[in-house]
Structure 1
């Protein structure tokens, strides 16, 4: 297996343009990290911590297998419909083949953004989310994009 097959290179069609990303990231207040792991060695754990430390977003962790564990006092929810607030960004840390049910949940709760992390791409689910009115990002890291666009996001929220 090559690196490209394990983590496909981003395509131009995987994400909207930077102006749209800045708008999405500047307007968001809540992020649900679906597939967040209580294991500190997992990327989803580290990204959730980074979002807690470097953004003003309210972070909600979603992982039905996490049980009663927490990350810095943030409990895990079993599904998006258990999150007690409206979710602005659904940040998906699930393998591509597991994306469709997450998209269905995101649509059901009215999430305006479905963001599939680096290496995660599901064109059919992305089309379904977009058809439901969501902005869709595939195969991009929320942390990387936020850090790359931070100055523009700050200017948009000033």
Structure 2
């Protein structure tokens, strides 16, 4: 977990990100981080049963519905409380999505161990935007970055 090679692999290879817990409410970390990632070429797929769309993309109530609609999800990026992580891990494993990124401040060790045991490459308690910036978006674009959660 949180291996530098795994972080780099996800950032370099993932193009479609299903964001579980993405909202359409301004000021929320999930929206700011996802908006910036989208502006840099990643496709963002909102997974939230409480909204119809976010960032110009249709929202889906579940990972299953999102995968069925878009055909391929490279990474699941999670902005949900720790109590929701075990179910998200189970879905990620069942749907054979290769990468799982659990955002900064969210930790569930047992679920993480289950994901890794199933072969899911996992990053937990880290911000995907901060790591993407550190991996090469650099100072030239940092002025556009939202506040990290």
Runs of 4+ in 1 over 2 A off after TM superposition: none
2:123 to 100, 122, 137: 137
Aligned length: 135
Distance, in Å, in 2 between the alignment partners of 1:72 and 1:96 is: 25
1:86·1:109 contact (CA, 8 Å) conserved in 2?
A: no
1:101 to 87, 100, 106: 87
2:2 to 9, 15, 30: 15
SS in structure 2 of the partner of residue 77 of structure 1: coil
How much does 1:24 deviate?
2.0
2:19·2:46 contact (CA, 8 Å) conserved in 1?
A: yes
1:51 to 26, 37, 42: 37
SS in structure 2 of the partner of residue 133 of structure 1: coil
How much does 1:42 deviate?
1.0
| Residue 49 of structure 2: aligned partner | 64
TM-score when normalising by structure 1: 0.80
**1:4-57 C-alpha deviation (Å, 9 max, x unpaired):** xxxxxxxxxx511x2331122111121101000111121111111011112x22
Distance, in Å, in 2 between the alignment partners of 1:75 and 1:150 is: 29
Distance, in Å, in 2 between the alignment partners of 1:112 and 1:94 is: 19
How much does 1:62 deviate?
0.3
2:11 paired with 1:25: yes
Any stretches of 5+ residues in structure 2 without a counterpart? 138-149
